[in-house]
Structure 1
Amino acid sequence: MLPGLLLFVSAMGSLLGADSTAGRKLHYVTVLFRHGDRSPVKAYPTDPYQENAWPQGFGQLSREGMRQHLELGRFLRTRYRGFLNDSYVRHEISVRSTDYDRTLMSAEANLAGLYPPSDEQLFSPDLKWQPIPVHTVPKSEEKLLSFPLGDCPRYEELMNQTELTQEFLNVTAANKDIIALVKNQTGLNKTSVDTVWGVYDTLFCESRHNMTAPAWVTPSVMEKLRFLKDFGFRVVFGVYKQQEKSRLQGGMLLGEIVKNLSNAAVSTDKQRLKMMMLSAHDTTVAALQASLNVFNGRQPPYASCHMIELYMEENGSASVSMFYRNDSREDPYALQLPGCSMDCPLEDFIRITKLSISDDREQECRLPSGASNKEVIITLAASGCLLLFLVVVLFISIIRHREPPGGRGYRHVINQDGGEES
């Protein structure tokens, strides 16, 4: 009973803002959230609802998604009242998003709830909103918020090895009927354990927007697809060699967060940054939580929010607390970094997370020199055969062009124009 009570007190103290315990002051916060409700990213071939069925097309934030993030922004305003200024101050918050309409718009809706303009910030009497900058980089340059990154041969090898694990093979065998059903009903050429989640996503989006499902989509089918969808997230970031996968994926973001925590802990600037807000995707939240080893194995829902809070003690020491909000009807629940206390000393947080952060990702992404990569072997074999063929052709050509004593063999002949031909 006592541990549960302590957890409750800790969570409620943080929920109330900057003063969770006497002498312990909130100093810096990172919030990472998934975008809000959206239209499907794509439709399967036999889907009765193609892109023209959606007002703004595929992958776009819906009005419900806008409302979800307005609500989340208002929650953050309540949670961090007394820590963040009541009105927007550019030195206090930095906002970054992936370069997708739905994440950019989610950040903007969130900021509308976090910073409702005060009188002096109203620039139009009939508009209770103010523009706040949201930064991004082109999709081709995104290395911090979009996972899994597709530029890492070693990660691809780990994924191939994951599909040979007993767990993956067991799940495939146990779900072969539903995988075959999806292939037959959707018109897709290929389906597998780690790809049918896309069909679930499409059907889920349609159900949330009151679109009638095809007859083959029963509650039992949806439940099985939901299981495979969650398993797909685990496959991408865990199941096999999770920590190494984290070093090549979510550890990129974790490393940046740890660096910011370390810098914030020694900052005494009155105009210092107080909050880093990151607007991204379900895979981003899962990648970060997997690298922290706190991922619950389920797809992060719309507008779910992972909060990492840095506190300073009166004696100058720093500690880190984490919370996850995945249901707007419930208070966020505390996340405990394995191997550390609930309020984890910053030096311990840095030491433990270092195992999931790569110092040289480019080097770690290279395939081991002794790796028996099938594609490499095939390429080398094909190159060897081609080289052998060229050597044989060159050898035959030399033999044919050598004229032996006695004049037998090919000769140069003089054509009628006085030129040579062979």
Structure 2
Amino acid sequence: MLLSMPYLGHSLSGWGLSFLSLCFILLLQRATGAGRELKFVTVVYRHGDRSPISPYPKSPRFIYANILWPQGPGQLTRQGIRQQYKLGRYLRKKYKNFLSSQYKRKEIYVLSTDRDRTIMSAQANLAGLFPPEGKQIWNHRIAWQPIPVHTLSRKNDQLLTYPILECPRFLKLLKETMDSSEFKLKLKKYMPLLGQIAPQLGYDVKTLLDVNNHKLWNAYDTLLVENIYNQPGPSWADQATMYKLRSLLELAVTAVFGDHKREEKARVQGGLLVKGILNQITKAATTSDPRKMMMYSAHDITIIALQSALGVFDKKLPPYAACHFFELYKEADGKYTIEMYYLTDITKGPAPLTLPGCSKACPLDKFKQLVAPIIVDDWTAECQKA
């Protein structure tokens, strides 16, 4: 016996259409981040691999610098060019649905410190980010096009070059830090190491302890770069010693920008860059400015000063081509949020950074509120405070 069933043709047809519409909406939401829209990106990166900045007095092999590094000290190497080109290709892939496929000058602004290695790093990065396409191809044998890289004069750079020593307030805070019992206790365990390596380098211990002259930093850097290029180092600079030296330098830079009165230091150091970045982000959120990306080509110390000001520094020296991201999103409810990421290895991808006191996707207004203590209106006046 056949059971009598109602005719479902029209209802199934309508249901099927509704189901397909629902699927389309869900897929669309997933593709667009459930209604959120990326509105602006700021990237701050360290330059690529370079030659040593300067030799230490007893450096035995720096006489071969013209062979190993023919362009001289502190210059971007071929490896550094490749690193930045790869970072540019990474940015192209990451933001392929955000940036135009072809270079548009109104979409991106690139600012570099006035150093050969950072200017060249920006150029190499842009070669990977915006290879010429279509009518932008001017030579079929060269997959490159000129893109403006702007610079700040070394004398007036208070945005990307740190530490800024022409600030009495900062120097006083720095002295307080170095004189603090907490820092002295941390430094104590490194004193035997300094006593051991100082004569090997050609310095006295007092000179190496002066964080303002960069002697220890440059000596470590020379040894590190020579090691990267498989040059035999002095017998005393073994792996254990280099690890201790790196740890000492990480202690030093953390003390310079953080630890004791971190926020007060940030007001006259990395807070200046935070302020500049926030101004750009706010403009993107409140106007119809066509700019989509701000790119800063700078140094490891720039990243350290920035992250210390934000309270997200992991107390590790940034590697070549390390990159800090700020992403501004417009959420489905019309409000804006900021997300931060830190890239140190392209193969592993960026790690999320969370501003202390906020969530990963930090509301823009709350972000501003949380960083307000490190933002100043008059840097000169702040530097003159007793």
Q: Which residue of 2 aligns with 1:351?
A: 369
Report which stretch shifted further, 194-203 or 147-156: 194-203
Counterpart residue identity of residue 339, structure 1: G
Q: Which residue of 1 aligns with 2:66?
A: 52
Q: 1:19 deviation in Å?
A: 5.2
- Runs of 4+ that moved beyond 4 A: none
Name the TM-score, length of structure 1 as normaliser.
0.80
Aligned-residue Cα RMSD (Å) equals 1.4
What does residue range 153-172 of structure 1 map to in structure 2 within 5 Å? 153-172=168-187
Distance in 1 separating the partners of 2:367 and 2:183: 32
Q: Any idea what SS the aligned residue of 2:151 has?
A: coil
What does residue range 127-142 of structure 1 map to in structure 2 within 5 Å? 127-142=142-157
Q: 1:314 deviation in Å?
A: 3.2
Tell whether the 8 Å contact from 1:98 to 1:137 is kept in structure 2 after alignment.
Answer: yes
Tell whether the 8 Å contact from 1:197 to 1:225 is kept in structure 2 after alignment.
Answer: no
Distance in 1 separating the partners of 2:184 and 2:126: 45
Distance in 1 separating the partners of 2:60 and 2:346: 32
Counterpart residue identity of residue 295, structure 1: F
Structure 1 residue 80 corresponds to structure 2 residue 92:
no
Aligned mate of 2:219, from 190, 199, 202: 199
Q: 1:169 deviation in Å?
A: 0.8
Distance in 2 separating the partners of 1:172 and 1:339: 30
Q: 1:316 deviation in Å?
A: 2.0
Tell whether the 8 Å contact from 1:61 to 1:106 is kept in structure 2 after alignment.
Answer: yes
Tell whether the 8 Å contact from 1:193 to 1:232 is kept in structure 2 after alignment.
Answer: no
Distance in 2 separating the partners of 1:19 and 1:73: 24
Deviations 1:190-243, CA, capped at 9 Å, x for gaps: 222745233211111111111110111111111110101111210210121111
Name the TM-score, length of structure 2 as normaliser.
0.88
Q: Any idea what SS the aligned residue of 2:114 has?
A: coil
What does residue range 214-363 of structure 1 map to in structure 2 within 5 Å? 214-269=234-289, 272-363=290-381
Structure 1 or 2, whichever has the larger Rg, is 1
Counterpart residue identity of residue 253, structure 2: F
Structure 2: runs of 5 or more not aligned: 1-29
Tell whether the 8 Å contact from 2:34 to 2:332 is kept in structure 1 after alignment.
Answer: no
Distance in 2 separating the partners of 1:148 and 1:192: 16
Tell whether the 8 Å contact from 1:193 to 1:228 is kept in structure 2 after alignment.
Answer: no
Distance in 1 separating the partners of 2:359 and 2:285: 19
Structure 1: runs of 5 or more not aligned: 1-17, 369-422
Q: 1:167 deviation in Å?
A: 2.6
Q: Any idea what SS the aligned residue of 2:203 has?
A: coil
Counterpart residue identity of residue 252, structure 1: L
Q: 1:315 deviation in Å?
A: 3.0
Aligned mate of 1:43, from 55, 58, 73: 55
Shift in alpha-carbon separation, 1:358–1:19, aligned structure 2, 3 A: farther
Counterpart residue identity of residue 145, structure 2: Q
Tell whether the 8 Å contact from 2:37 to 2:331 is kept in structure 1 after alignment.
Answer: yes
Deviations 1:327-354, CA, capped at 9 Å, x for gaps: 1220101111111111011110111111
Aligned mate of 2:45, from 33, 54, 57: 33
Report percent identity of matched pairs: 44
Flag the structure with more relative contact order, 1 or 2, with Cα contacts below 8 A and sequence separation at least 6: 2
Aligned mate of 2:194, from 179, 198, 213: 179
Deviations 1:40-90, CA, capped at 9 Å, x for gaps: 111101101324352111100111110000000000001001100001001
